[in-house]
Amino acid sequence: MAKLKFGLIGCGAIATRNHVPGMEKVKANASITAMYDIVPEKAKELAKKFGMKPKFCKSEQELFDAVDAVIIATPNSCHYPQTIRALKAGKHVLVEKPMSYTPEQADEMIDLAEKNGLILQVNQSFRYIPLYVGLRQLIQDGLLGDVLTFRSQRAGMQAPNKGWSPGADWFVDPKFEGSLVGDIAVHMADLMQWMLNSPAKRVLGITRTREHKVEDNVNALLDFENGATGFLELSWTYPTSWWSIEIYGTKGSLKSIDGGFAFIPAGSTTATKLYSAESFPAHPNSQEVFVDSILNGGNQNWMAGRQAIALVTAIRDSNASGKGEVPRNRVEKKAAPKKAAPKKAAVKKAAPAKKTVAKKAAAPAKKTVAKKAAAPVKKAVAKKAAAPAKKAPAKKTAAKKK
């Protein structure tokens, strides 16, 4: 079978750090054969860095015409429209997070992918990291008992355009839908919900715009259906940088340390077990899952991205309303046929009802008229008996029965 041809749209930092290295794991089945960036030099630099010889396209359409699938690694505001165009062109899509700005946009993307029989996947990259995959399984297996609280703090002294992605000013530009909510909250809120394996039923969010034109500080409280609570503390403007995750349960806690996590049993302050990436088996990365889904069939690959959008939208909505908000998760349209079923049953029941009424009315009318008319004729006064039988009784009886 011929290799899948991939097109890369957007050749900046996330493509360099994640997507191109990730595609190395699937080189037996797929490769990047076309690139497009509004700054052509970026595409050429990226190809040179990784020793690739793709076709450098001058437009999205030229790229669409040359590939089977597309990776979209552009600023946030481009994710929705570029995904729609790629899906309309019949291409499978792996799009960076956040998949869109609103749940409604996300659903439009999903509907189009499903209508065209295409794989749509969102690069919620934390879900593919072996360390988190392994810890999630330990939590599900009962390591912590009943989870009480999940706390995530990810604070920095600067936004990405001054840090890991120099010059990417779209991160702090509302025109490109940049913000701390769309950059980090979309990761950490999703990580919480996924690791706890329980949906958030209510979110209370507070955001602040301190040094940028977009949300650069986020605090959120998440109320999960399994009874656990989650706390998010995120910032681009703290006087120091700090990243920590703490998960508390009835049997102990997991706390992030350099290189991994420490397990501290209940009633103790001393760690009895350390977990690192090496503690768990390898796990397919996002690109591997995407390629496998194209070749062998996927299963709602868009789900992680759609759930994340529901959470960050709830954070924004709560900040605006000043009260807790329910995440607007996707409502599957397959529920509609179930409501239609009773209507069909009602129509079927109506048919017998008409037949039964007709039979009951007809039977008595014939029997009654025949018996009353016959008796007088046989006895004596033929003329007197015949007159009443013809003129009135039969007609009155029929009318009453109708």
276 DSSP β-pair partners: 260
Residue 201: the pLDDT is 98
Of 213, 212, 214, 223, the residue nearest 314 (C-alpha):
223
What was the pLDDT predicted at 34? Answer: 98
Domain range 4-123, CATH architecture: 3-Layer(aba) Sandwich (3.40)
As given in the structure block, the two tokens for residue 294 are: 């194209």
pLDDT in tens, 194-239: 999 999 999 999 999 999 999 999 999 999 999 999 999 999 999 9
Query: Residue 1's pLDDT is what?
Result: 72
Angle at 133 between CA 154 and CA 179, to 5 degrees: 30
pLDDT recorded at residue 334? 57
- Could you give the CA distance from residue 36 to residue 43 in angstroms, rounded to a whole number? 7
Ranges in the chain, pLDDT < 70: 334-402
Check residue 6 and give its pLDDT.
98
Q: What is the pLDDT of residue 316?
A: 98
Q: Report d(CA 161, CA 50) in Å as an integer.
A: 23
- Measured CA to CA, the distance from residue 219 to residue 364 in angstroms comes to 80
Return the closest-CA partner of residue 315 out of 225, 200, 226, 211.
200
> Domain-by-domain residue ranges, the chain?
4-123, 127-283, 336-401
pLDDT of residue 332: 80
Give residue 364's pLDDT: 43
Distance between CA 315 and CA 185 in Å, rounded? 9
Per residue in 289-303, pLDDT (tens digit) is: 999 999 999 999 999
User: What is the distance between the alpha carbons of residues 21 and 5, in angstroms, rounded to a whole number?
Assistant: 16
With a CB cutoff of 8 Å and minimum separation 6, the contacts of 381 are: none
Q: Decide yes or no: CATH 3.30.360.10 for domain 127-283.
A: yes
